[in-house]
Amino acid sequence: MRKALVIVSILVILGALVTAVFAGGLIIGRATVRPSASGPVIAPPVQIDEATPIPQPERQTPTQESLPDPPAEADRTPVVEESFEPREPREPGMAPVDAFDYELLRTVLELLEEQFYGEIPDGDELAHGAIRGMLMTLGDPYTSFIDPQITAILNEDATGEFEGIGAMVQMREDGYLEIVSVMPNQPAEAAGVMDGDIIVAVGEQSIVGLGLYEAISYIRGPAGTDAELEIIRAGVPDPVFITVTRARIDIQIVDSRMLDDDIAYIRLTEFDATAAERMEEALDELLAQNPRGLIFDLRNNPGGWLNQAIAVADLFLDRGLVAIQRDSSGREQRFSSGDGDIAESIPMVVLINRGSASASEIVAGAIQDRERAPLIGTATLGKGSVQLPNNLQDGSQVRITIARWYTPGEQVLHDSGLTPNIEVPFTPETPAGEDPQLDAAMQYLMENTP
């Protein structure tokens, strides 16, 4: 009986996966698999397997308790589809599903059941492993499988809010979860958690050696509940125990302020579902102060959602082309900006670096190609592909590369990235507290604005 359940579980999930990839929305039994309603994502997907290379920016940006990846379209989408042909199903014989040997898989499962010395994982775990293995054969690190637990975390973070302790964390190479920064005026700060603290356990659950999102899942929880943290703190010989009452956290993805010499500064850290709305609100406040110029900082912004990239670009650009998306058959969709947005005329520069990827490159590339403003910094990552999230019936998700995108000037950014108009390095030798790229941006505006 157990063997039959395992085989049925794996075959059903694999069947659903292949249908989602090549047919889109066919019904397998009672489970319908459709692309996520959120539409394409252009951020590099969350890396689940440690063997998958993770592009590193010049200066590490801390990983938040959650990495936003919106599940729903934003209301504000100034996208003009100038030409688009719906993607047609692949011709018979082209799809690997036609040649997929289900019987071979069934044989291996039966051999495992009969011969394996040890405990065989349940059907879902075996199925997830089989899916990951299948996707690895594609040779595309961005086509990836995300298990239900992590999918739930990503979906919660989609709106720019989540329930947790309010801290930025990263997984160190030695397997310890480190507090990189504590968010101001949030529960972790109020309870006494400090930058540099190492969380080794939550309640009775050790999180040492767990994956990033598995560890986060123990720290996260409903607002009003307590997270009992066991912490190792530098200079303190014994563990520190801190109880933090969780709360709903509003992720601040926009940083805006006035700098010296009447220069406005705005930074966007990622393109979540609220990016365009928050950018517009911040720009309204900045422009009301009549700045002479604007610095738009996209450094270490790993990307996000396609509709938000187009909407943010539209804030700075008048009518014209923003990006071109092409699939493997050469069919294309063009995304355009319109007239009348608030920041179309203010003199500006854009800061970029190796950590600027995906949606950041779409926005920066459009601004550069249309000669709206120069790019200052170093070359971007070069992530020029689009992934479509597909929700599976067990709560997991598979993200599939469906297309590549190009700038208005037909720059091919995949694996190449954007080259800045003014190159300014930011090296590990740069003294702490100094920012030569920001300094260069201010100098440019001072010299090129009245």
Active site residues: 358, 369, 383
The residues, ordered by sequence, that sit 6+ positions from 372 with a Cβ below 8 Å of its Cβ are 316, 317, 348, 366
Q: Read off φ and ψ for residue 431, nearest 5 degrees.
A: -55, 145
**Spatial distance between the Cα atoms of 428 and 277, rounded to a whole number of angstroms:** 34
Specify the amino acid at residue 376: I
Contact predicate 74/359, CB 8 Å: no
Report residue 334 as tokens: 């063009």
Report residue 83 as tokens: 């030409």
3-state secondary structure 329-387: CCCEEEEEECCCCCCCCCCEEEEECCCCCCHHHHHHHHHHHCCCCCEEECCCCCCCEEE
* CA dist list (Å): 157 to 152, 248, 309, 354: 9, 11, 18, 25
Locate the DSSP E strands across 189-329.
198-202, 205-206, 226-232, 240-245, 247-250, 254-258, 263-268, 293-297, 320-326
Question: C-alpha angle 277/376/426, rounded to 5°?
Answer: 105
- Measured between alpha carbons, how far apart are the two ends of the chain, in Å? 80
Owner of token pair 């609220």: 274
**Spatial distance between the Cα atoms of 155 and 66, rounded to a whole number of angstroms:** 10
CB crowding 256-278: b at 16 or more within 10 Å, else e: beeeeeebbbbbbbbbbbbbbbb
Contact predicate 136/146, CB 8 Å: no
Locate the DSSP E strands across 147-270.
161-164, 167-171, 177-182, 198-202, 205-206, 226-232, 240-245, 247-250, 254-258, 263-268
